[in-house]
Structure 1
Amino acid sequence: MLQVLRRGDDAFRREAGGPGWWPGEAVVWIDLLKPSRAEELAVEASLGVDLPTPAEMAALEPSSRLYQERGATFMTARLLARSHEDAPFATPVTFVLVGGRLVTLRYEELRAFNVFSGRATAADEARGATALLGLLDAVVERLAHVLDDTAARVETASTAIFNRPRAGDFRPTLTGLAQAQSLNALIRDSLVSLGRLLSYAALAPEIAESPGDAAHLVSLQHDVQSLIEHAGQQAAHVTFLLDAALGLINIEQNGIIKFFSVVAVVFMPPTLIASIYGMNFRVMPELAWAAGYPMAIGLMLVAAILPVLWFRYRGWL
């Protein structure tokens, strides 16, 4: 899908890219979402650039993600996608500044783009660099929002861990923490990728020649750095809660094992006495005593009580 934002328009316009397509001088932003090959070729021909392929966008080498070519600045970052679903992931998004225009190339719907498109039309963004910085602002805001939601989930898990009733089930809490840790890692990956992009964006002529845009870029870099630190602290908190939950599980399991161990020790001596007098030998003097039965019961009670008293004295109970 190819859509464009022109100066003075109140919304994006979807256009059919094909041979001879021309954006016009009023176009500020060209957004390519899952574009067809014809749309890619139309944009490349009209702007005189070669857009990266999906494989090049996903490459790990910084030279493949951040570069300048034919007067255009290409910047690719891995952004969080489908954060509100069960299986979020990072997807590459390419930003191109060329001829005073912004070109974005992506293959997933991103909520930050939808949010900013409304702001951009209302504010009537006049330059591609200004649109880029505003769009990156929306991306950072979205990541901060998701990070705050994740922090709230972690706090809920923390309360569930330390105020949990005895014999409660830890599985939902551990599952929630694992999901929060995975999402937090994706957020941090996106922020680090954005940090590299912002550092390279300072080399773009459209931004370097505008003091206002350069100052805006520095502010974005500070925001991203603070969010990276926040994500790191949150990851440490999740790790602590996972360790605490596993420690409490071990304590409960040790308590159960301890209980059965004490019961086994308490009943072992009485069982031994009962086993001795349960043997059917002819010569057992106690069998003929009138006090034999009370004596055996008394021995079993004493043998059961003495271990309990010893355990209490040692502080094991």
Structure 2
Amino acid sequence: MLAAYHPEGKGLAPLGPSKDIGDALWIDLFAPDAAEVERVEAFGLSVPTLEDMEEIEISNRLHREGDCQVMTVMLPGRDAEGRQFSAPVTFMLTPERLVTVRHHSPRPFETFGSRAERSSSGSSTPVRVFLGLVEEIIARQADLLEATGRVLDRVAGEVFGEEMNDVEGLRLALRDIGQQGELTAKVRLALFTMERMLSTFIVWNGTMKHRDPQIATLAKAQMRDINALEVHLDFLNSRVALATDATLGMINLDENAVVRTLSVVAALFLPPTLIASIYGMNFAHMPELDNQNAYFIALGAMVASAAGTWIWFKAKGWL
């Protein structure tokens, strides 16, 4: 799918299907087909395939092709089934336009078109559209971290609260914690690749002819935002680790209580079993067998031994 945007007022507006995409300031390619790739490559650009975008070599992810800056980052997004995962997104920045290539749906690419006028960098040039989109992406990562914090607050309240008294609830809490841990890992990867992209972009911007003097300042401000989010991310990771340990500890305590109960029940039957085993032996000379009350005496001994064991455990505080 191809979406094209042109400047309108202080923001961007989508180009109609009958308009020439040559007038677009930003072209967004989402899982493009061959015809859409051909339309963009008519501008002299080489649209990378998904295999090219997944290359981990820095020379493939950050390079220049003439006046075109090609930069690839890893961003969290959703697939067609709504599952969240990380996948590469490529920015192709030229003096005439910005082209983005992606094969999944990071939310900023769906919202930036209608919110470009709110960007601190504006949307008058391709490079400012690029920085505005990066700003939207950074804000999205901040939203994801805030959502993670809320989930951890809820889970911590459940785990440490009095209402959480079953193993199944603790297991569900542990699953929620694990999901948040996976999400923070995806956000960390996004912030790391974006920080590397911006540092490279700042260097390239210093060599551009007719460069905008404010661009480097805006990019450095975004890098400071990324650094602040990385600090917050470290804090959330420590909370994830604490919540995981606490939940596992609660599960172990609950399971230990079950095991302790079974152990006590087994211990209560040990003395009666010993007595029954002794008088179940088939020796020829067992004087108690001749006693008419031997059966009742044996039963009483078994009951007394079980009761004595129970009293002992109760006195020790094991029950």
TM-score, scaled to structure 2? 0.83
Q: Letter of the aligned partner of 1:52 in structure 2?
A: P
Flag the 1:166–1:7 CA change in 2: closer, same or farther, 3 A.
Answer: closer
State the alpha-carbon separation in 2 of the partners of residues 211 and 31 from structure 1. 27
Flag the 1:49–1:85 CA change in 2: closer, same or farther, 3 A.
Answer: closer
Flag the 1:271–1:130 CA change in 2: closer, same or farther, 3 A.
Answer: same
Task: Choose which of 244, 263, 266 in structure 2 pairs with 1:264.
Answer: 266
Preserved CA contact (<8 Å) 1:129 1:207 = no
- Aligned partner of 1:228 in structure 2 is 230
Flag the 1:162–1:285 CA change in 2: closer, same or farther, 3 A.
Answer: same
**1:186 pairs with 2:182:** no
State the alpha-carbon separation in 1 of the partners of residues 111 and 176 from structure 2. 28
- Aligned partner of 2:124 in structure 1 is 126
The CA deviation string for residues 216-248 of structure 1, in whole angstroms up to 9 with x for no partner, is 111111111222232233223223322222222
- Aligned partner of 1:37 in structure 2 is 34
Flag the 1:236–1:271 CA change in 2: closer, same or farther, 3 A.
Answer: same
Flag the 1:287–1:54 CA change in 2: closer, same or farther, 3 A.
Answer: same
Q: Letter of the aligned partner of 1:187 in structure 2?
A: V
The CA deviation string for residues 107-140 of structure 1, in whole angstroms up to 9 with x for no partner, is 2333212221112267772111111111111111
Preserved CA contact (<8 Å) 1:201 1:207 = no
State the alpha-carbon separation in 1 of the partners of residues 275 and 148 from structure 2. 61
**For structure 2, which runs of at least 5 residues remain unmatched after alignment?**
none
State the alpha-carbon separation in 1 of the partners of residues 21 and 181 from structure 2. 46
Q: Letter of the aligned partner of 2:86 in structure 1?
A: A
Question: Residues 74-85 of structure 1 correspond to what in structure 2 (within 5 A)?
Answer: 74-82=70-78
State the alpha-carbon separation in 1 of the partners of residues 287 and 147 from structure 2. 77
Q: Letter of the aligned partner of 2:205 in structure 1?
A: P
Q: Which moved more, 1:256-265 or 1:73-82?
A: 256-265
Q: Which moved more, 1:199-208 or 1:113-122?
A: 199-208
Question: Residues 140-179 of structure 1 correspond to what in structure 2 (within 5 A)?
Answer: 140-163=138-161, 164-169=163-168, 170-179=170-179
RMSD after superposition:
3.1
The CA deviation string for residues 85-112 of structure 1, in whole angstroms up to 9 with x for no partner, is 7620112111122124222222233321
Q: Tell me how far 1:313 sits from its aligned partner.
A: 5.5
Question: Residues 103-114 of structure 1 correspond to what in structure 2 (within 5 A)?
Answer: 103-114=99-110
Question: Residues 21-100 of structure 1 correspond to what in structure 2 (within 5 A)?
Answer: 23-24=22-23, 27-46=24-43, 48-82=44-78, 87-100=83-96
Q: Which moved more, 1:121-130 or 1:65-74?
A: 121-130
Q: Tell me how far 1:141 sits from its aligned partner.
A: 0.8
State the alpha-carbon separation in 2 of the partners of residues 206 and 3 from structure 1. 30
Preserved CA contact (<8 Å) 2:184 2:233 = yes
Preserved CA contact (<8 Å) 2:167 2:254 = no
Aligned length in residues: 310
Q: Tell me how far 1:43 sits from its aligned partner.
A: 2.4
State the alpha-carbon separation in 2 of the partners of residues 84 and 180 from structure 1. 21
Percent identity of equivalent pairs: 33
Preserved CA contact (<8 Å) 1:2 1:16 = no
Flag the 1:101–1:306 CA change in 2: closer, same or farther, 3 A.
Answer: same
Match of 2:5, SS state, is: strand
Q: Tell me how far 1:307 sits from its aligned partner.
A: 3.0
